[in-house]
Chains A and B, each alone.
Chain A
Amino acid sequence: MSDMQTQTGEPLLRIEGLTKFFPVSGGKRLFAVNKVTLEVGKGETLGIVGESGCGKSSMGRTILKVYEPNEGKIVFDGKDITKLSRKKMLPYRKRMQMIFQDPYASLNPRLTVGDIIEEPMTIHKIGTPASRKAKVQELIGVVGLKPDHIRRFPHEFSGGQRQRIGIARTLALEPDFIVCDEPISALDVSIQAQVINLLERIQKERGLSYLFIAHDLEMVHHISHKIGVMYLGHLVEYGDADEIYKRPKHPYTQALISASPVADPKSAREKHRIILEGEVPSPLDPPPGCPFSGRCPHVRDECRQILPDMYDYAGRKVACLQYSPKAQGITLQ
């Protein structure tokens, strides 16, 4: 699946050392996103996994400049958009969109479905009122709803239907890149697959790129070409989806994958589970050194002092001292 890279070599989106912190009382800073570097190619899906509070949603929002980044660079289609003003951002807004987690909160309850889907085109002054209406009709069909649904209000729909309305709204601008912020976690199992298939179909038809944020590892593995694993605001492992899912290297990724329940009794019985001690520490008070050092089963003294870089190892990037060039050198000897 990794053959879907861009021909030019330049990825559609590149972020470098992206950092977002929020000031909290007592002069402290809460680092939601901490020096994250990654790329999303054209037509590619990058899945971001992590537990609650790992900063995956904050990262998605910072990329779309809902939150102003504190440090680092966001490069979209070769253009640095990090410092663009809200006005100058407008043409990029058309190309970078977002799908939200909560299908109940993400649609304005006072607008009809037709108005909701039409609004982005009104904002960007695309087409005539008549052509917009036609586009709304087309989009409602794309997401599998019926034409007469456009006069209805969001509260009349089920969660899955609303999520599809949200997708139609996003598609109205014909974006190149969509941040999917936990789009399926609020949905029932049978509906999740509908939404995933819809997203995949749209990607195939329109060559979109996704940043797919979720905590369901199986689904992320299913939809993604590449996976990034986050822990306490840091990206700890990043690379090809299959590789990471089947042969995780970072101890946290290993634990995460082994802990996620598999819907298969036989492999569940055979599966060796790595049960981590304790819970994710508060991002306000992260441990010194490696953020995972407090729970890591392979922790060494140096882990508590040195914050590991992203090291190249086995065709991916891993932020763990085990895989630092120095450590690898030692092992080789």
Chain B
Amino acid sequence: MTETELTRKLLPEEKNDEFIAIESETFLQAAWRKFRGNKRALIGMVVLIFVVLAALFGPFLCPFSYETQLPEKNAPMSLLHFFGTDKFGRDIFVRILYGARISLSVGFVAAIINLIFGTLYGGIAGYVGGKLDILMMRLVDIIYSVPPTLYVVLIMLMFGPSVTSVMIGISISSWMGMAQIVRSNVMSLKEQEFTMAAFVLGAGDSRILIKHLLVNTMGPIIVTVTLMVPQAIFTEAWLSFLGVGISAPMASWGTLAQDARSLIEVYPMQTVFPMLAICITIFAFNFVGEGLGTALDPKQKH
């Protein structure tokens, strides 16, 4: 390099004084990058994908239906029957796969209903505020004050025992958590200057609520939904175990555990397998939920 080159004045384009250092990434890209870094969440996600795939396609690959009663009753684990058979000679592995369909769909449907209803309810209560908010939140308190089992039992009485009744019952008794989370987030975001900016610009209520408030609540909403699924699965299993859930010959994981209960001293494995299925799935969901929680938390930006 020459001497004059060193003392040459920098041209404006060489200085780049408005340079932006970070790579551009959207909210979701950033979240995915952080999620990837979390081993437990990743394992949870792999397990979940496996469980969902097994529930969707597993039954097609099996030689038996969930109702088929085979001559070998209470068979032990074997290559033919991975988890053995129950007291009616039904293959437990197949029944668990079918059970996964019911348990998972109860979980997902309840979570989606929660998502839609809870978000709208909480969003409106938080955005409008004032008397409407007080009214809406007292309603939530009232719904909270009744034990969730009661809703399911009542719905069962009204519509008869079915998967749908269970889904409706669980949904009714669990959306309030979502509503409260959305409400409190919306209330604090409402005070932010960007909301005021949107108001001053002339944005309408629905635009402010959806585009500015709810979009920024996306993180907590996704986390809550993810954690809602295992909760619903658990509630359903528990209700079925008590005998108020899904009834035979359909089988959810809870029913399977309930069916095997009478033989628990002789054939404990018949109870253990459905319980393991519940356990693993719930763990996986919780890990994913926790991972999403950290990945979507705006406070842990960098």
Contacts and interface: CB of A to CB of B under 8 A. Distances in A.
A and B touch in the complex (CB under 8 A): yes
B6 interface: no
A102 B216 contact: no
Given A108-B216, A110-B27, A120-B201, A66 B196 contact: yes
A157 B194 contact: no
B299 interface: no
Interface residues of B, number: 27
B217 to A, nearest CB: 10
A75 B298 CA distance: 42
B199 A166 contact: no
A145 to B, nearest CB: 7
A169 interface: yes
B200 A64 contact: yes
Contacts of B145: none
Interface residues of A, number: 38
A74 interface: no
A61 B197 CA distance: 11
Q: Chain B's interface: helix, strand, loop or mixed, by majority?
A: helix
Contact of A119 (B27, B198, B215): B198
B53 interface: no
B192 interface: yes
A105 B194 contact: yes
B78 interface: no
Contacts of A157: 20
B148 to A, nearest CB: 34
Nearest to A93: B202
B207 A97 contact: no
A155 B299 CA distance: 12
Interface string A98-129: 10111001111111000000011001100000
A146 B196 CA distance: 27
B298 to A, nearest CB: 7
B24 A151 contact: yes
A135 to B, nearest CB: 15
B9 interface: no
B27 A161 contact: no
B206 to A, nearest CB: 12
B202 A120 contact: yes
B26 A161 contact: no
Contacts of B194: 105-109
Given A152-B24, A153-B24, A156-B24, A66 B200 contact: yes
Given A108-B215, A110-B27, A156 B203 contact: no
Interface in B8-53: 18, 20-22, 24, 26-27
Given A93-B202, A155-B301, A101 B216 contact: no
Contacts of A109: 27, 194, 216, 298
Contacts of B128: none
A97 B199 CA distance: 10
B204 to A, nearest CB: 8
Nearest to B24: A152
Given A110-B27, A124-B202, A145 B18 contact: yes
A90 interface: yes
B3 interface: no
Interface of B: 18, 20-22, 24, 26-27, 192-194, 196-204, 207, 211-212, 215-216, 218, 298, 301
Return the 5 tightest CB-CB contacts between A and B, nearest first: A93-B202, A106-B193, A105-B193, A100-B193, A120-B201
Given A66-B200, A106-B193, A109-B298, 13 more contacts: A66-B196, A96-B200, A100-B193, A100-B196, A100-B197, A101-B193, A107-B197, A111-B211, A146-B18, A153-B27, A156-B21, A157-B20, A161-B18
